[in-house]
Amino acid sequence: MTGEALIVLDNVNKYFGPLHVLQDVTLSVDRGEVVVVIGPSGSGKSTLCRAINRLEPINSGTITFDGQELPAEGRALARLRSEVGMVFQSFNLFAHKTILQNVMLGPVKVRREKSAAVRERAMSLLERVGIANQAEKYPAQLSGGQQQRVAIARALAMQPKAMLFDEPTSALDPEMVGEVLDVMTSLARDGMTMVVVTHEMGFARHAANRVVFMADGQLVEQARPEEFFANPRSDRAKDFLSKILTH
């Protein structure tokens, strides 16, 4: 962490019809920082995560990435998105392309890099997430945990400045959660800037620099993980933690 802000949300508001899903959300994420966003479902954490690369446009407020305000739809936005990796709950690997093609598509088409160089980088990324031997298979032939690790490799292939994780383990069978969290933990250790929406409290405890707790569209409190889990200040957070930590 350098103390230099990479992602800044300032007074962000977002409505789905009459529903006020993000209410005056202000949040700043430093370069190299790992921020874990937790909270009950429907609290707006996924929307917050998706707003950062404008998959959800916001109604008011500003979002700044690397000193530049998010542009409107168009080439400038596409360029910005190419610098922000995103991992989805439902993996969303391109179903008609092989694992290797999935990882190579962005660098080849968006960055116009040479295919041979990209292939080498893609293979070493697949190696890193432990799926190099499946490179020629199609997504449907892989388990959920493997698909999600490919999705992480696909995002990393763009050499992003930050990574967004939108509930990356929520759609996985329990025995596959660990393999995905391991990859994420190693990324965090390597200094990647990460915003992670998750229900994995273990990951929040050991990998996060900061925990952000959201409820009903509001950012209720934020603190270092050891402090937050031992000593939540708000009643809403105490209530939430008492419900999930008693089991």
Q: In what order do the strands lie in the sheet with 19-30?
A: 19-30, 5-16, 60-65, 68-69
Residue type, 157: A
> Which residues ranging from 146 to 165 are in contact with other proteins (CB under 8 A)?
151, 154-155, 158
Residue 147 or 210 having the CB closest to other proteins: 147
Residue from 14, 21, 25, 81 in contact with other proteins (CB under 8 A): 81
Q: What DSSP state is assigned to residue 192?
A: -
Residues 192-231 that bind other proteins (CB under 8 A): none
Spatial distance between the Cα atoms of 152 and 158, rounded to a whole number of angstroms: 11
DSSP 70: P
Is residue 137 packed enough to be buried (19+ CB in 10 Å), middle (13-18) or exposed (0-12)? middle
User: Residue 202 and residue 44: Cα distance in Å, rounded?
Assistant: 21
Residue 102 CA to residue 142 CA, distance in Å, equals 13
Smallest distance from the beta carbon of 213 to other proteins, in angstroms? Answer: 26
Least distance CB 156 / other proteins (angstroms): 11
Q: Hunting for tokens 């997430």 — which residue is that? A: 129
Minimum CB separation of residue 158 from other proteins in Å reads 6
Q: Candidates 7-15, 105-113, 199-207, 209-217 — which segment interacts with other proteins by CB under 8 A?
A: 105-113
Residue 238 CB contacts under 8 Å (≥ 6 apart), including other chains: 232
- Using CB under 8 A as the criterion, what x/- string covers residues 45-74 for binding other proteins? --------x-x-----------------x-
The rounded distance, in Å, linking the Cα atoms of 117 and 172 is 32
109-138 residues near other proteins, rule: CB under 8 A: 109-110
The DSSP element (H or E) to which 21 belongs, if any, is: strand 19-30
| 93 binds other proteins, rule: CB under 8 A | yes
Closer by beta carbon to other proteins, 150 or else 184? 150
Give residues 6-35 in contact with other proteins (rule: CB under 8 A): none
Could you tell me the smallest distance in angstroms from the CB atom of residue 193 to other proteins?
A: 16
**Contact range with other proteins by CB under 8 A, out of 29-37, 101-109, 180-188, 231-239:** 101-109
- The contact set with other proteins (CB under 8 A) reads 53, 55, 73, 75, 78-86, 88, 90, 92-96, 105-106, 109-110, 151, 154-155, 158
